[in-house]
Amino acid sequence: MEIRTLCVETAPLEGITTWLFRRTHCRMFGGADRYFAPFFSPVSEHILTRKELRDLSPEHNGGVPTVPQVMTKRAEDFLWAAEQVRDLGFEEVNLNLGCPSGTVTAKGKGAGFLLRPDELDAFFDAVFSRACLPVSVKTRIGYHNAEEFGCLLGIFNRYPIRELIVHPRVRREFYKGPVHLDALAAALESSRAPVTYNGDLVTLEDLTAFSKRFPEVDTVMIGRGMVADPALLRKLRGGAPADREELRTYTQTLYQGYRTAYGCPGPAAQRMKELWFYLIHLFDNGEKYAKKMRRVGNAAEYEHLEAGIFGDLDLLPQVRKPLDGTGPSAP
């Protein structure tokens, strides 16, 4: 299919794609059809934390097509979370079956849920009999190996999943190494739910090559690629690449926004470090600055480094690959 008309969703990236990021990206660059918010994990007391409410409040999400994501293995907690999400004005809720973090999987959540197909089946049975909103699922293709995916697809196919977002890696692969495109092909052949592809789409060439190989896929989800190049989706629609002044305005809007939200500059600088872990790939010879950025300890150091990057480095026409590392807060 013509890549310009691809439906593009932005991936949830805990620690990066906050409400402020989503709103700023949407207003400044656009090009995305939907923004998936990072997961929240309901507690058995059924209370949303202040941070969760801030991220999902109508005031912060107005004008940005957002899908909240929930991570749990308990149907009653998911159903409660879906009601909260509906009451906040959202029209869909997403289930996280991909998080590879050891602390998450040890509790049987995220990718850890994939190890318990019978429980997953019972969970879906309860969720789909009572959910107040359409439910989409973001999944890996297995916990230990890709052969698990057939059984998982068999379970998914029993339920009216609105959209099945597939990141074709298993848990131990985290976000590195080659994706298993054969597993994606299997999903496309046998999934009852529409399949969205997610993984390693970083440049327009990646999108073109992917579309050529899988012309039947009309929706993709992009995470690190659009953090590294915030104008990627605009370029996909035929628009201009980001220029230096625009990027400076973008990072300063985010930094000032975080300073206001946190009431102090230290945590704002931490947030920006996570963003720069990817964004630095849009600058030529950024390695030295990338190293220094990882060691930033306070706001003054951050501001100095950011000024140095914009002052010293040339912008690249597209991201320098590979991008397969993950930043300090990757789950």
**From the CB of 151, what's the least distance to ligand FMN, in Å?**
21
d(CA 161, CA 155): 11
Of the residues 23, 25, 109, 167, which one makes contact with ligand FMN according to CB under 6 A: 167
- Lookup: tokens for 31: 């090009």
Segment near ligand FMN (CB under 6 A); pick from 1-9, 60-68, 194-202, 244-252: 194-202
Phi, psi of 218 (to 5 degrees): -105, 0
CA distance 220 to 201: 9
**Could you say whether residue 257 binds ligand FMN (CB under 6 A)?**
no
Cβ 214 to ligand FMN shortest distance, Å = 15
Query: Does position 200 bind ligand FMN by CB under 6 A?
Result: yes
Structure token digits, residue 124: 């879906």
Q: Which residues, numbered 135-164, are part of the site for ligand FMN (CB under 6 A)?
A: 138
- Residue 269 identity: A
- Nearer to ligand FMN by Cβ, of 100 and 286: the residue is 100
| Binding-site member from 6, 8, 9, 13 for ligand FMN (CB under 6 A) | 13
133 binds ligand FMN (CB under 6 A): no
168 binds ligand FMN (CB under 6 A): no
Read off the tokens for 13.
């990236």
Q: Nearest-CA neighbor of 81 among 10, 22, 132, 128?
A: 132
C-beta of 223 vs 230, nearer to ligand FMN: 223
| H helices, E strands: number in the chain | 15, 8
- Chain-centre distance of CA 282, in angstroms? 19
Closer residue to ligand FMN (CB): 73 or 224: 224
CA distance 201 to 223: 8
Q: Which two tokens mark 256? A: 């000032």
The DSSP H or E segment spanning 268 is helix 265-279
- Collect all residues with Cβ–Cβ distance below 8 Å to 212 and sequence separation of at least 6: none
Measured from the CB atom, is 185 or 330 closer to ligand FMN?
330
Nearest approach in angstroms of CB 295 to ligand FMN is 18
Alpha-carbon span 1 to 111, nearest angstrom: 31
Q: Are 101 and 136 in contact (CB under 8 A)?
A: no
68: contact with ligand FMN by CB under 6 A: no
Q: 319 with 230: CB under 8 angstroms?
A: no
Task: Tell whether residue 85 is a contact of ligand FMN (CB under 6 A).
Answer: no
User: Should residue 7 be labelled a site residue for ligand FMN when binding is judged by CB under 6 A?
Assistant: no
**Which pair of structure tokens corresponds to residue 306?**
């950011």
Amino acid, res. 298: N
Determine the size of the site formed for ligand FMN (CB under 6 A): 28
Identify the residue among 9, 15, 153, 230 touching ligand FMN (CB under 6 A). 15
Distance CA 178, CA 168 (A): 9
In the range 217-246, which residues lie near ligand FMN by CB under 6 A? 222-225
Residue 72, interface with ligand FMN (CB under 6 A)? no
Verify binding: residue 38, ligand FMN, rule CB under 6 A: yes
Does the footprint of ligand FMN cover residue 34 (CB under 6 A)? Answer: no
| Residues lying near ligand FMN in the complex (CB under 6 A) | 11-16, 38-39, 69, 96, 98-99, 138, 167, 175, 198-201, 222-225, 326-327, 329-331
